[in-house]
């Protein structure tokens, strides 16, 4: 089994099969929204990219009430056949990478979830937008901020919504920490630490291919620290410094980062210290410190269960399947105009890309890079 980020995160997770029943459990045994009858609009989704994470999303969507898997887009005919049988997908909703523009003429698909290697997102999202369908794109949204902005512009021009797969923006423990911060329970925020990493395996995988991944650990696991610093602190950074360390030049070719440490500065004076790496395990931790208290989450971004504590004690929010909740919420955003606590739109994705562009620049030049998001 390849030691990819997907498998690493699963080390922190209970099995996906075990988790599928958990969204149905409410607090104190009371039925939650998943047990309530639903009679509203349903977002009909085609998944593009039928790899390990696409499979995870598909499985999670089986528990959704507001979103339904209705189509697939893949370059592998055998996968399409497997998914057709498993998820009862009609032939007319199956496409390959060459002909998926034809979804323009398919009224039974509302949105496409793009789950392909990073370098493919830009062109695929723009093609989906031109076909008149809403888009959900995995993170990082693109290889750089310029590409990301072009995607946002294309979706705006086509009058379709562009969302990014920020599943943590809907995760209950994460939202509780954000609620506590907004309520002033930590007092003035002073410091954030984000540690994200694992020891990557198979050297031939696309995540270690500069052309497909656009970088290395930062573009894969480090984005969680970039994005997490923003939603945990509740501000946008104004400067960044960074340092890159590389111990295995054979595995990590030029342009593929092994380890990057980076620091962010925020307008209020908060600083963040973060680590992104492909060469160390046991790293999935967020820490937020304030004048009146703290929040610590470990695991902080794995597939679940997320665990954490604050100065007030353990966090005991419901354990959920992240992708199920994400797709339910994204359905509400696309179909009903719901505003989430933390945005998941394309503009949010561009902000992360601007920060990552600056991190790479700072690591290369050794200089402090100013940010304007």
User: Catalytic residue numbers?
Assistant: 139, 224
Which DSSP letter does residue 354 get?
Answer: H
- Surface-to-core class of residue 153, CB atoms within 10 Å of its CB (0-12 exposed, 13-18 middle, 19+ buried): middle
Which DSSP letter does residue 25 get?
Answer: B
Which residues, 6+ apart, have CB-to-CB distance to 164 below 8 Å? 136, 137, 138, 139, 141, 344, 345, 346, 348, 349
Which DSSP letter does residue 15 get?
Answer: -
Inter-residue contact 144 to 353 (CB < 8 Å): yes
Inter-residue contact 135 to 111 (CB < 8 Å): yes
Q: In what order do the strands lie in the sheet with 43-48?
A: 94-95, 67-73, 43-48, 111-114, 134-137, 162-164
Inter-residue contact 373 to 354 (CB < 8 Å): yes
Q: How many residues does the chain have?
A: 373
CA gap 187, 193 in Å, rounded: 17
Inter-residue contact 276 to 196 (CB < 8 Å): yes
Inter-residue contact 287 to 193 (CB < 8 Å): yes
CA gap 282, 199 in Å, rounded: 9
Buried/exposed code over 233-243 (b: 16+ C-beta within 10 A; e: otherwise): bbbbbeebbbe
Which DSSP letter does residue 219 get?
Answer: I
Return the closest-CA partner of residue 148 out of 352, 371, 366: 352
β-pairing, 294-297 vs 308-310, is antiparallel
């Amino acid at each position: 089994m390849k030691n990819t980020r997907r498998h690493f995160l699963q080390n922190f997770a209970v099995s996906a099969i075990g988790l599928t029943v958990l969204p149905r459990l409410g607090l104190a045994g009371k039925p939650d929204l998943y047990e309530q009858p639903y009679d509203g609009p349903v977002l009909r989704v085609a998944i593009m990219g039928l790899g390990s994470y696409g499979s995870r999303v598909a499985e999670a969507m089986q528990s959704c009430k507001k979103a339904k898997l209705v189509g697939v887009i893949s370059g592998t005919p055998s996968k399409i056949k497997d998914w057709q049988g498993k998820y009862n997908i009609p032939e007319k909703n199956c496409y390959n990478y060459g002909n998926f523009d034809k979804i323009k003429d398919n009224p039974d698909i509302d949105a496409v979830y793009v789950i392909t290697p990073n370098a493919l997102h830009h062109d695929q999202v723009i093609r989906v937008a031109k076909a008149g369908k809403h888009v959900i794109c995995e993170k990082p949204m693109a290889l750089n901020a310029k590409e990301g902005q072009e995607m946002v512009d294309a979706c705006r021009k086509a009058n379709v919504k562009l969302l990014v797969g920020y599943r943590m923006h809907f995760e209950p423990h994460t939202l509780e920490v954000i609620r506590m911060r907004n309520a002033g329970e930590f007092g003035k925020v002073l410091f954030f630490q984000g540690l994200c990493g694992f020891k990557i395996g198979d050297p031939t995988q696309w995540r270690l291919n500069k052309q497909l991944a656009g970088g290395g650990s930062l573009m894969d696991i480090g984005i969680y620290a970039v994005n997490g610093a923003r939603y945990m602190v509740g501000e946008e950074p104004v400067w960044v410094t960074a340092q890159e360390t590389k111990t295995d030049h054979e595995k990590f070719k030029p342009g593929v980062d092994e380890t990057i440490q980076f620091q962010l500065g925020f307008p209020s004076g908060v600083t963040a210290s973060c680590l992104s790496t492909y060469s160390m395990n046991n790293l999935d931790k967020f820490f937020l410190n304030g004048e009146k208290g703290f929040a610590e989450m470990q695991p902080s971004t794995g597939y679940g269960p997320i665990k954490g504590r604050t100065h007030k004690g353990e966090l005991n929010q419901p354990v959920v399947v992240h992708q199920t909740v994400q797709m339910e919420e994204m359905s509400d955003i696309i179909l009903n105009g719901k505003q989430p606590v933390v945005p998941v739109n394309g503009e949010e994705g561009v902000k992360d890309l601007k920060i990552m562009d600056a991190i790479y620049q700072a690591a290369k030049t050794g200089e402090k890079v100013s940010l304007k998001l």
